[in-house]
């Protein structure tokens, strides 16, 4: 993700390159999770496949603007699900670092966009909000762990 943003900053690229970079990063994470055998196949994956197909068809029929809008909506739907799942079961060990880096990347991506338009900043801006909301339970649990460890050391 950071490499994509660096290229965008140097070339003056915008939202499309960042969206493509995010897709590549997500695909690499998918491969890593498969390799580590940390994968599950639930209704969420089925919804993701359907949304990807709809975005592909939309790109062919309507064009890039509508596809970016649909991509942001799709990402928001999945992001809300992940935020709820994180609220119910916050796993700090892996997720807090990853979400923190993703939040930083989304902020930089928003800054790197060429103009204030839906195509340029829609995806990264929506990711800032979704990631921030998802991080709340992780930060709360991390704080509780830190506080508990501090009390153990003092006691």
Per-residue model confidence (pLDDT) at position 117: 77
* CA dist., res. 16 & res. 20, Å (int): 6
Assign 77 a pLDDT band (cuts: 50, 70, 90): confident
**Please, are residues 99 and 138 in contact by the beta-carbon 8 Å criterion?**
yes
Per-residue model confidence (pLDDT) at position 68: 78
Q: Domain range for residue 140? A: 2-154
Tally of structural domains, the chain = 1
Structural tokens at position 58 = 């939309």
Please indicate whether residue 16 or residue 136 has the higher confidence score (pLDDT): 136
Structural tokens at position 102 = 């993703």
Per-residue model confidence (pLDDT) at position 141: 86
Assign 25 a pLDDT band (cuts: 50, 70, 90): low
Alpha carbon of residue 101 to chain centroid: 10
Per-residue model confidence (pLDDT) at position 19: 60
Where is average pLDDT lowest: 28-37, 71-80, 93-102?
28-37
Please indicate whether residue 28 or residue 19 has the higher confidence score (pLDDT): 28
Per-residue model confidence (pLDDT) at position 43: 79
Per-residue model confidence (pLDDT) at position 6: 54
Please give the share of the chain, as a percent, with pLDDT higher than 70: 74
Nearest Cα neighbor of 69 from 10, 15, 2, 30 is 15
pTM for this predicted structure = 0.69
Instruction: Tell me which range, 13-22, 58-67, 85-94, is most confidently predicted by mean pLDDT.
Output: 58-67
Query: Mean pLDDT of all residues in the chain?
Result: 76
pLDDT at 2 over 60: no
* CA dist., res. 146 & res. 10, Å (int): 40
């Amino acid at each position: 993700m950071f490499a994509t943003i660096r290229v965008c900053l140097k070339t003056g690229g915008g939202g499309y390159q960042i969206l493509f970079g995010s897709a590549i990063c997500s695909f690499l994470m998918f491969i890593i999770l498969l390799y580590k055998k940390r994968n599950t196949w639930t209704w969420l994956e089925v919804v993701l496949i359907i949304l990807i197909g709809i975005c592909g068809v939309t790109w062919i029929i309507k064009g890039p603007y509508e596809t970016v809008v649909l991509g942001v909506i799709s990402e928001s739907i999945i992001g809300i699900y992940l935020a709820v799942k994180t609220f119910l079961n916050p796993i700090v060990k892996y997720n807090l670092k990853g979400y923190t880096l993703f939040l930083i990347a989304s902020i930089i991506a928003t800054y790197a966009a060429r103009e204030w338009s839906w195509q340029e900043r829609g995806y990264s801006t929506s990711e800032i909000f979704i990631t921030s909301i998802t991080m709340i339970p992780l930060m709360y649990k991390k704080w509780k762990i830190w506080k508990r460890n501090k009390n153990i050391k003092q006691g």
